[in-house]
Each structure stands twice: as C-alpha cells, then as structure tokens.
C-alpha cells in the first residue's frame, strides 16, 4: 500500500483494554496510514493524545506495556479502609480513586513528546469544514454534568468554561475524559463537574463527519473495544449496591453509541477488537492479557483493511443533500 494515506481516527474508551487500540494502530501505520485528527474518549483519549503528539505505534506498544495499571487505582484516603471506606469516598468525593496518577503519567508522556497545551496540537488545515471554530489534531470527549451535555475539548472550552483553548493542558482534558463514575473522582472547574465522556458518547464516530455537503477528503476509521453490535453480552451479576451502580453506569455508557452502530455506514468503517471477558476496570491486567489485546487489535485491523475500499464506501454512503 502506498505511503501518504490519510485518515481521521475515533478511538473508543475501554479502560485498561486500551492496548487493543495500539495493536490496531500498528497495522494501520504499517500499511501507510498517517492520522490527520484523532478523537477519543477515556482510554481512547489517553491513546489518542499520544498519537496526536506524534508518538508512533511501536513506541506506544512499549509505553503501554510498561504501565503498572494497578497504580491507576490511586486510592483516596478513606478507600484504604476497605469497602466501607470506598463507600464513604463515593459518598463524599464521588469516587474511590483520585486519578492523580493518570494525570501525572499522561503529563509526563506528553512532555517527553514535547507537548503540553492544546496550542501545541494546532493544525493548519484550510480544507477543514468551516463549522469548526478551531482546528486541532486532538478532540477528547467529556461529560459536563453541571450543564448536562457532552463537551468536545478543546472545541468547547470557550463556550463551556470561557477559557482560551490554546492555553489548556492536554493532560487535564484527558483526565476529564477518563473520570469513570464511581471509580474516579470527577474533575471540577469552578461550578462545573466533569466525568467520563463515555457517559454520553464512548464512541463519537461522527465527530469529524462534514455537514457542509463537501465531499470527505479521507476516511474516518473507528476502533471499538466493546464488540460488534450483534455480539452477545454476558449478563452482569448484581449482588449489592456498588454492583448496581456500576451496572447502571455501564448501561448508560453503552446505550447512546449502540444507536450509532445500527447504521451500516458506521459498522463498515469500524475496526472491532475482540477483548474477551476483560472489563475496562480490570486493573490487575496480566502480560498475557496485554499480549492478547494487542494481537487481537492487530488481527482486527488486518481483517478490516483486507476488505476496506474508500471509494466503494463513499459511493455507498456519501451523497450531498441537494
């Protein structure tokens, strides 16, 4: 396949399963694809921020393998006291874990790549759709509970928080995006309260789609970690209040994007990575689990590209409204 192929990317959230994204990315890179813009939620925001910063998939594989995922569970003070303490932290601080380790880790990785604020990810793109106020290489999703809406950062910084997007730290936006309810304390800015973007859109596959009738310049590929829309989902065991809360969050996070996946045009541009029985919050991920996720990502992307045809996709699904 010739060099110089461009694609936008949309990366689904999936917690510790994010290494499956890296496996899929590695195949896309090997086949000559460069990534113009990247959107992501939660784990997709973590991986996407590093891709946007210029980190290649081979480097990402090493980075993700070296992570001690157990450190992602940086307990708040009372969580050390066990189940009762964790319940108290949820009651008083709305999360069992602080999320400071993730923030520091992402900040460090971006610093190594020479990136800090969204000004470092500005994209000179005169051919972009005119309805976007700003153009950046990265867009991450977070849910603003105070306003009751999905925010796309950095696009919505000005409207949502009245701040200059260029001056905002990339890692803070990622931390806002991965604030899984119950597990992590929400991110607060003034009177605004932000949690995981997956509450409203874990797979924002349409974020880069044009609405101005212009023919798309290159494809948007989605990489999904939660299976095909027709996959059988294992029932969740509900044995207590905490299980009930977790199940409610998981159901809410899946429902919105399931509507997207009812569209054949979305399914046909999405790479589905099989993740077995692993959950987003399985922080005790083993090296074997990591290898499985990475190889499954590679296998899924290889199978996808074997049948992918950009011109056929446009012919089937794109047409101007007039």
Active site residues: 42, 196
Dist. CA 127–CA 79, nearest whole Å: 50
Dist. CA 278–CA 271, nearest whole Å: 18
DSSP string spanning 10-58? EE---GGGGHHHHHHHHHHHHTTEEEEEEEEETHHHHHHHHHHTT--HH
Burial class (CB in 10 A: 0-12, 13-18, 19+), 181: buried
Query: Between the CA atoms of 108, 63, 55 and 24, what dihedral angle is there, to the nearest 10 degrees?
Result: -140
Residues 6+ apart with CB under 8 A from 259: none
Tokens standing for residue 311: 């011109």
Burial class (CB in 10 A: 0-12, 13-18, 19+), 115: buried
Contact between 202 and 41 (Cβ < 8 Å)? yes
Total residues found in the chain within this entry: 322
Contact between 182 and 95 (Cβ < 8 Å)? yes
Burial 140-162 (b: 16+ CB within 10 A, else e): bbbbbbeeeebbbbbbbbeebbe
């Amino acid at each position: 396949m010739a060099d110089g192929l461009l694609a936008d990317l949309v990366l689904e959230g999936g917690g510790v399963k994010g290494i499956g994204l890296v496996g899929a990315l590695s195949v896309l890179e090997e086949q000559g694809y460069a990534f113009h813009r990247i959107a992501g939620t939660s784990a997709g925001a973590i991986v996407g921020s590093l891709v946007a910063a210029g980190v290649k998939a081979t480097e990402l594989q090493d980075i993700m393998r070296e992570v001690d995922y157990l450190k992602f569970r940086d307990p708040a003070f009372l969580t050390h006291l066990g189940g009762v303490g964790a319940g108290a932290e949820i009651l008083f601080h709305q999360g069992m874990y602080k999320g400071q380790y993730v923030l520091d880790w992402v900040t460090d990785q971006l610093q190594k790549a020479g990136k800090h604020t969204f000004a470092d990810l500005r994209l000179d793109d005169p051919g972009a759709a005119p309805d976007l106020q700003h153009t950046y290489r990265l867009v991450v999703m977070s849910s603003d509970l105070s306003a009751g809406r999905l925010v796309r950062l950095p696009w919505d910084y000005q409207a949502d928080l009245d701040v200059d997007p260029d001056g905002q730290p990339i890692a803070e936006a990622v931390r806002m995006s991965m604030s899984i309810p119950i597990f992590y304390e929400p991110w607060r800015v003034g009177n605004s309260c932000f949690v995981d973007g997956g509450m409203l859109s874990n797979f924002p596959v349409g974020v880069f789609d044009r609405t101005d009738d212009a023919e798309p310049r290159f494809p948007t590929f989605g990489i999904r970690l939660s299976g095909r829309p027709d996959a059988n989902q294992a029932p969740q065991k509900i044995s207590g209040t905490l299980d009930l809360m977790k199940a409610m969050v998981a159901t809410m996070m899946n429902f919105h994007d399931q509507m997207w996946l009812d569209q054949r045009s979305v399914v046909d541009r999405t790479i589905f990575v099989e993740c077995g029985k692993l959950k987003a919050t399985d922080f005790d991920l083993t090296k074997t689990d990591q290898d499985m996720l990475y190889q499954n990502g590679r296998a899924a992307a290889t199978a996808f590209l074997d049948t992918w045809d950009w011109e056929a996709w446009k012919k089937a699904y794109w047409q101007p409204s007039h």
